[in-house]
């Protein structure tokens, strides 16, 4: 998936993708039921969002009797990697360090986050020797 595609997925469409990443394949009615607790969307709204995702090439559908079953064409990890790269490139000149500094400056890093980052950096240093 390319960055232009990631940027074209709206927040509402991402909600539908999140549901498909954990419960695919699924019919529109099933997706609507799963989203009901978080969103006040009609079944038609969910169908519209699914149609947009299919049109964008992010979701595939196949007939299953009188309904369609939907499944994502990309993984959550691939989407996250592309979205992260897009943010780093657009806001931080392609560098990760200013992103982490921004998170730290805004109090978004917990002690657990810092420990995990330290472990990642230690492993990266070891692997690059």
pLDDT tens, N- to C-terminus, the chain (129 residues) = 444 565 689 999 999 999 999 999 999 999 999 999 899 999 999 999 999 999 999 999 999 999 999 999 999 999 999 999 989 999 999 999 999 999 999 999 999 999 999 999 999 988 876
Cα dihedral 64, 15, 79, 124 sign = negative
User: How many independent structural domains does the chain possess?
Assistant: 2
- Please check whether residues 30 and 63 belong to one and the same domain: yes
- Please check whether residues 8 and 42 belong to one and the same domain: yes
- Please check whether residues 7 and 66 belong to one and the same domain: yes
Residue 103 structural domain: 95-129
Separation of alpha carbons 84 and 63, rounded Å = 34
How far from 76 is each of 6, 65, 87, CA to CA, in Å? 11, 28, 16
Residue 66 lies in a domain: yes
pLDDT at residue number 3: 46
Could you report how far apart the first and last alpha carbons of the chain are, in Å? 32
Separation of alpha carbons 93 and 17, rounded Å = 28
Residue at which a domain ends, from 40, 72, 104: 72
């Amino acid at each position: 998936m390319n960055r232009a595609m990631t940027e074209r997925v709206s927040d509402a469409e991402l909600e539908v993708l999140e549901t498909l990443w954990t419960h695919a394949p699924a019919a529109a009615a099933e997706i609507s039921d799963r989203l009901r607790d978080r969103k006040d969307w009609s079944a038609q709204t969910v169908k519209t969002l699914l149609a947009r995702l299919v049109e964008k090439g992010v979701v595939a559908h196949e007939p299953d009797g009188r309904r369609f079953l939907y499944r994502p064409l990309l993984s959550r990890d691939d989407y996250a990697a592309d979205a992260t790269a897009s943010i780093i490139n657009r806001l931080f000149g392609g560098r990760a360090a200013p992103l982490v500094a921004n998170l730290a400056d805004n109090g978004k890093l917990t002690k657990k986050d810092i420990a995990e980052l330290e472990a990642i950096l230690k492993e990266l240093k070891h692997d690059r020797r």
